Amino acid sequence: MSQQRHGSTPGEADGVPAFPDLPEATIARLPEYLRALHHLAETGAETVSSEGLAAAAGVNSAKLRKDLSHLGSYGTRGVGYDVALLVDQIEYILGLDKNRAVCLVGVGNLGHALAGYAGFASRGFRVVALFDADPKKVGEQINGLTVQHTDDLERIAAEESIAIGVIATPPGTAQAVADALVAAGVTSILNFAPGVLSVPSNVDVRKVDLAIELQILSFHEHRKASLTALPGGRSAPPASGDQEAVGS
């Protein structure tokens, strides 16, 4: 089977919907594939096998092939995937060809670091506005942008057509910021503040909680230590691949 490009926009021909209804797990893996593909392109690679791309993205090749089949991309037998074409397809599905406008609310230590991150522009995002409620921070220059007061959020969001809002405030003010973003017409929010936000059903929220990620890693450390403490000092599951429960 050959790799397909359906017209000028991926997924428009051969009865394939113009915008596929992708499983959430597939959506979560597409940015990993894209990161790996960008790296391959930078090294001069024009094609890549499913095994090679899967290894670079940290998934198994069967899962990768299934994910990419949702995009109408099947590769070419004996050749693999066209790197540039696959980049175009994934960027289209992720909407990265839109160069979306992003605002950041909260320019404390974390917000300041996020505002200075240069990687957003190379991945299809424009940070167009920074906001904070602290008068001492309003007017500060960060990465070429002037910090505005949160009272001006609604006006600036309309002027800049902001699509995504990033919350990097203390947890106590995160809900009020989310309410302001929603009132300003922002329908996608990336939340770095601990806690759960209440938003309308048409607003998508992604949460990044570093403490939770550390707790999950702590579980794995605890599990490894428990396995090592068993008779024989076993530090890995049996060769059969069957994971055993440790204690109750």
CATH for 197: 3.40.50.720
Specify the pLDDT at position 72: 85
Q: How many domains, in total, are found in the chain?
A: 3
Residue range(s) defining the domain that contains residue 63: 24-96
- The tokens describing 33, both together, are 């594939």
Specify the pLDDT at position 118: 83
Q: Is residue 229 part of a domain?
A: yes
Specify the pLDDT at position 29: 96
Q: Is residue 4 part of a domain?
A: no
Q: Is residue 239 part of a domain?
A: yes
Specify the pLDDT at position 233: 58
Which residues lie across from 127 on neighbouring strands? Answer: 102
pTM score, two decimals? 0.78
Q: Is residue 121 part of a domain?
A: yes
Q: Is residue 183 part of a domain?
A: yes
Q: Give SS3 for 142.
A: strand
Specify the pLDDT at position 121: 83
Residues in the chain: 248
Q: Alpha-carbon torsion 160, 164, 168, 173, what sign?
A: positive
Specify the pLDDT at position 245: 42
Integer Rg of the chain from CA? 22
Same domain, 77 and 162: no
Domain boundary among 78, 96, 114: 96
Specify the pLDDT at position 202: 96
Same domain, 103 and 204: yes
Specify the pLDDT at position 5: 36
Specify the pLDDT at position 17: 44
Same domain, 91 and 125: no
Q: Is residue 140 part of a domain?
A: yes
Specify the pLDDT at position 124: 85
Specify the pLDDT at position 3: 39
Tell which residue, 17, 85, 99, 14, has the closest CA to residue 53.
Answer: 85
Same domain, 139 and 165: yes
Same domain, 84 and 114: no
Extract the residue ranges of the chain whose pLDDT is less than 70: 1-19, 230, 232-248
Q: Is residue 12 part of a domain?
A: no
Asked whether the beta carbons of 140 and 161 are under 8 A apart, the reply is no
Annotated binding-site ranges for NAD(+): 106-111
Annotated binding-site ranges: 106-111
Q: Give SS3 for 195.
A: coil
Specify the pLDDT at position 240: 45
Q: Is residue 14 part of a domain?
A: no
Q: Give SS3 for 103.
A: strand
